Amino acid sequence: MEVTGSTKSDGQALLPKGDAMESIKKKFIISAMVISNFIAWTSLSLMDPFFPIEAKKKGLGETLIGLIYSSSELVIFLVSPLFGILISTASPRFFYITGILIIGSTTILFGTLDMSSPGLPFIVTCFAVRMIEATGVSSLISSSFLIASQNYPDNIGSIYGIFETAVGLGFMAGPAIGGGLYQLGGFGLPFWVLGGCTFACGVVSWILLPSKHYGQECSDSECPSRWTIFRSPWVLFGSFVTICAYTAALMWMPVLSLHLKEFDLSQVVIGLLYTITPGMYAITTPLWGYLIDWKVPPTFLIIVGLILTSICSLLFGPAPFLPFLPHGMVTIIVALVLMGLCLAPVIVSSIKCLVEGAGSLGFDVKGANFGIVGGVVQSSVCLGTLLGPLFGGLLTERFGFAWMMVAAAIIALFPLIFGGPFLLYAASDRCKSTDDKKKYDKLNGVINNNIAMTTYQ
């Protein structure tokens, strides 16, 4: 009896260890993906402070510079749904590791483009390398979203907040590192250093990341069609908010270094200025994800965040029709800080709306088809990050920086202007549902009391 009791006790003691080991594995997987996303986005953003200057030397205008910036987002927008479908039926690990290796290789290659001849050869090679790199980014972010969401299905907001922190920190560190290395060793050094780190990260992930099948298979009758996801108004609204918010918040990105020429700043300082908005975004996204998981209404955060983003854009210009707004470095820094703080709740909330809308149609977090949701999320993000730099370069070249930021302020309000009727309907429908529930509970209570009194009598 004593031996049996000891064995049972030992067996029970092993269960918590197994749970603890599984928890450790999940944390390792998430940590590895956070680091990989950070390094990848650092590589993608490191050219912000110096590429426009080098491109000007090669004879490119602001519009072409904006197109080169936006080309990667265009590719991600187009191929992310495809990767979402493929990842749902294949191994996310393969797409994850392949994506990192492609990013590392193309980043190293981009460091040699200053050797291209000015004009058309430089333009073509920039577009080609940037688009191939974007394919790797799409593969990485789509697979990361699927693996992370299925490891933590009940904390989508928090997990997405953590990943957005990695992305924001990457965008923050990239320009600072790029500007410093550019000043230290010229055009190629930033790409070679960061590309090498990204490639090494891919090799380490290939060795250490465990092979695992993600997603539960389902029959054709149980799995909704990939196009069914767009039947949800919340999916459409979340996508539209994401697109408009990123477009408005990133229009300054390709032209800020040219706008700052009047202040005679070094490349290091310009690089640091590029880190402010991503830094504020990265710091606050986990907080907003946590609050949303704790039932803070995402629509409220979207409305307030978009209004404040519009105000920040007018301050950033500053708007020509608001002559009382000061123009100087202090105004620019304040606007960059507020832009990151206002963007974070909007993006996390819109993704939450999108995911919940897809879930109501049968796109379960643990299901085999959830990769499609990740593809839609990334397509929405990348369409916004495509249109932002593209419109920014185009409008700045035509109308100047100040009026370009006025356009950004208007774009930030598009979801409220065009989605206002939907929000009012959703709010009234929710209130109606709440009132009906209260009336039902009250009626049910009266009935139960009558039954109890009758039984007692």
Please give the average per-residue pLDDT across 144-164, as a whole number.
Answer: 71
**In Å, what is the CA distance from 305 to each residue of 284, 312, 428?**
13, 10, 21
Query: In residues, how long is the chain?
Result: 457
Quick check: 451 pLDDT over 60?
no
160 vs 31, residue with greater confidence: 31
- Alpha helix stretches (DSSP H) within 320-369: 329-359
Question: pLDDT for 38-53, tens place per residue?
Answer: 887 888 778 877 888 8
Which pLDDT band holds residue 405 (cuts at 50, 70, 90)? very high
* 395 contacts: CB under 8 Å, gap ≥ 6: 251, 403, 404, 407
Burial of residue 243, with CB atoms counted within 10 A of its CB: 0-12 exposed, 13-18 middle, 19 or more buried:
buried
Beta bridge partners of 216: 367
What would the DSSP string read from start to end of 76-109? HHHHHHHHHHHHHHS-HHHHHHHHHHHHHHHHHH
Mean pLDDT of the chain: 77
Q: What angle do CA 105, 108, 111 make, to 5 degrees?
A: 150
Give the max Cα distance, the chain: 99
Dihedral, 445, 451, 454, 457 alpha carbons, nearest 10:
-80
Quick check: 134 pLDDT over 70?
yes
Please give the average per-residue pLDDT across 235-259, as a whole number.
Answer: 88
Least confidently predicted of 37-51, 181-195, 307-321: 37-51
Q: How many CA atoms lie within 13 A of 444 on its CB side?
A: 6
pLDDT score recorded for residue 434: 40
Please give the average per-residue pLDDT across 435-440, as a whole number.
Answer: 41
pLDDT score recorded for residue 66: 73
Question: pLDDT for 23-41, tens place per residue?
Answer: 777 777 778 788 888 887 8
pLDDT score recorded for residue 311: 92
Instruction: Tell the residue number behind the tokens 């919940």, with chain if given.
Output: 356
Least confidently predicted of 8-22, 23-37, 54-68, 97-111: 8-22
- Beta carbons within 10 angstroms of residue 265's beta carbon: 16
Which pLDDT band holds residue 355 (cuts at 50, 70, 90)? confident
440 vs 175, residue with greater confidence: 175
Which pLDDT band holds residue 16 (cuts at 50, 70, 90)? very low
pLDDT score recorded for residue 4: 42
356-370 as b/e: b if 16+ CB within 10 A: bbbbebebbbebbbb
- Cα gap 310→308, rounded to integer Å: 5
Quick check: 158 pLDDT over 80?
no
Quick check: 12 pLDDT over 60?
no
pLDDT score recorded for residue 447: 33
Quick check: 448 pLDDT over 70?
no
Which pLDDT band holds residue 226 (cuts at 50, 70, 90)? low
Q: Percent of the chain beyond pLDDT 90? A: 12
Please give the average per-residue pLDDT across 309-314, as a whole number.
Answer: 92
- Cα gap 243→73, rounded to integer Å: 12
